[in-house]
Structure 1
């Protein structure tokens, strides 16, 4: 049984390395923001009486897609030999998007949003590129 755990850890480490080029502070921040966005979205839905399992499952699928796009950015970096330029640009885009969604969820719950957080969103939008299009039919609050 101990070997299964070691094998699973080794496989997971290899997968993170292959898909994301290893773990970094940027990916750690993205992971925290993705989790916080999901939790605040659930809380906002619960407080408004709009909590539905289908919406939650769609939210999880969107979170998986975020990490798929970051992996695509890393794989493009590998082809072009640009270090982590594309991976981190994609990650910054989604960090800004998740932070915006967290603040929207907080607003739905009646929580005040500090001005410094609003300023951070603007800075992160710039780091993620100028294209802030979330895509057709998407919602930042998911």
Structure 2
């Protein structure tokens, strides 16, 4: 039989996702985040925005990070520790994103959590914008803004 050797598939599966704890939960939360994001985009009237396309790409990149963590975990014989920590980090990130989407859709969210999400959202948007400006201009925008603030005081 000259077909596909299943042993190679088993090795590939082991190195890509073998034994990754909570991977199904992460995938479920990613799907729910996409779903709540689409509902939010429909509500806001920007369903086909670049932001959503970058969001989908980011989901794929998260899976690449999980695969990379799993490979490093396997090579260094860490018994799943690195992969488990990586997956837990992204589970928490997806859960926060879902809660944020729900809050923006008008679903009641505990007040303290909603306030924390607003702070996180503002800081991440500023950081992302500054990173893009730094990349495009070659100047450290964060440092220039800090210097301006310090000079104004």
Matched, 1:97 2:88: no
**Structure 2 counterpart of 1:21:** 18
RMSD: 2.8
CA gap of 1:137–1:109, structure 2 versus 1, over 3 A, is same
By relative contact order (CA 8 Å, sep 6+), the higher-ranking structure is 1
Q: Does 1:67 align with 2:58?
A: no
Distance of aligned partners of 1:101 and 1:19 in 2 relative to their CA distance in 1, 3 Å threshold:
same
TM-score normalised by the chain length of structure 2: 0.62
Runs of 5+ consecutive residues of structure 1 not aligned to the other structure: 1-6, 119-132
TM superposition score normalised by structure 1: 0.67
**How many Å separate the matches in 1 of 2:79 and 2:59?**
24
Residues 81-129 of structure 1 deviation map (CA, whole Å, 9 limit, x = unaligned): 11110111010110000000000000110011369xx6xxxxxxxxxxx
- Give the corresponding residue for 1:123: none
Structure 2 residue runs without a partner (length 5+): 114-123, 130-153
Give the number of equivalent residue pairs. 112
The structure with the larger Rg is 2
